[in-house]
Structure 1
Amino acid sequence: MIVDKLNNLNRYKNIHPNLDFVINWLKENSLDKLVEGKTLLKNDDVFVVKVKMDGYNLESGLYEVHKKYADLHIVVDPREDIYYAQEEELKNLKKEFDTAADIKLYALDTTRNKLSLNSNEFVFFFPGEAHGPKMIGENEIMDKIIFKIKMGQ
């Protein structure tokens, strides 16, 4: 997991070619010009999802784990809390791994680690790193961008 300011993303080049692609894409393109929904950037190797979403409350939150894709979460407005944990620490499986969607879900365990992101900050989750996003409160709305970056098979 990497947490940093968006303007420092270039520090993380050479971790993976598809992450390099995203870093270069961000240098040449504005996040403001993205339309809501999913946009393919490099076939199914890299795509981006821009969403305006309701936050979760702690009772309805979920951890997600991916095998093939890393997630680069960028908060546009206003903020987001994200819980994270090692998958082997999680006990309450909610959904077995869905290969097509590249996701396994667990109930949120708020005794785990929490990080708080503000506008123009990011978190990068490698495949296998459990994360519970969208924790801003169920009556709040958040703008966010998620790059899905294929790193595994």
Structure 2
Amino acid sequence: MIIDTLENAARYQGLGAKFVKAFEYLQQTDFNAVAKGKYEIDGDRIFAIVNEYDTIEEAGEQMESHRKYIDVQFVAAGEERIGHDFLGDKSPSRAYSDTEDYMLFAEKPAFYTTLRQGQFAIFYPTDLHMPNLRVAGPVPVKKIVIKISVQ
């Protein structure tokens, strides 16, 4: 996993052309003018999901992981806490769904990060993550999740 600010995106060009496209999209898009929804960047290889929500309590939440896509989670407005951990030898509490590309894990996160406006986190398939959590109380968040195909 990688956690940084969008102003440092050039540091990650070495991750490949798909990451370059993803960061260009984040840097060139005015998300104040973009509604919730799914937006293609490069077909099903790279796409963005724009979402708006209020942060939630951790109780009852589980960490997730994906196999087909890497997540680039960018906070355009607000702030949220994200729990995360390494997949390692953990067993899922909800088996992997190929159609939905995720599985769930009941373990508590080993680490927490607060993402604020202008910051992003990259979660690879071996990175468990529990996003959308409250920092202090519920706050509105606008977050863009860019899905980058592993293949």
Fold agreement, TM-score > 0.5: yes
* Deviation (angstroms), 1:3: 0.8
User: How many pairs were matched up?
Assistant: 150
* Deviation (angstroms), 1:108: 5.0
Query: How well do the aligned residues superpose, as a CA RMSD in angstroms?
Result: 1.9
Query: Secondary structure, in 3 states, of the residue corresponding to 2:15?
Result: coil
Q: Tell whether 2:122 aligns with 1:94.
A: no
**Matching residue of 2:104:** 105
* Deviation (angstroms), 1:27: 4.0
Counterpart Cα distance in 1 of 2:99 and 2:122: 22
Q: Tell whether 2:20 aligns with 1:5.
A: no
The verdict on how the C-alpha distance between 1:141 and 1:80 changes in structure 2, with shifts beyond 3 A counting, is: same
**Matching residue of 2:64:** 64
* Deviation (angstroms), 1:128: 2.1
* Deviation (angstroms), 1:96: 0.4
* Deviation (angstroms), 1:90: 3.9
Query: Secondary structure, in 3 states, of the residue corresponding to 2:18?
Result: helix
- Is there any run of 5+ residues in structure 2 with no aligned partner, and where? none
Q: How does 1:120-135 map to 2 (within 5 A)?
A: 120-135=118-133
* Deviation (angstroms), 1:31: 2.9
Q: Deviations over 1:115-149 (max 9, x none)?
A: 11111111111222111111116844322111111
Amino acid of the residue matched to residue 142 of structure 1? V
Query: Secondary structure, in 3 states, of the residue corresponding to 1:12?
Result: helix
Q: Is the 8 A contact 1:61 1:135 kept in 2?
A: no
**Matching residue of 2:26:** 26
Q: Deviations over 1:80-116 (max 9, x none)?
A: 111111113645x331000111101112504x11111
**Matching residue of 2:76:** 76
Q: Is the 8 A contact 2:65 2:128 kept in 1?
A: yes
TM-score between both structures, scaled by the size of structure 1: 0.87
* Deviation (angstroms), 1:44: 0.5
TM-score between both structures, scaled by the size of structure 2: 0.88
- Is there any run of 5+ residues in structure 1 with no aligned partner, and where? none
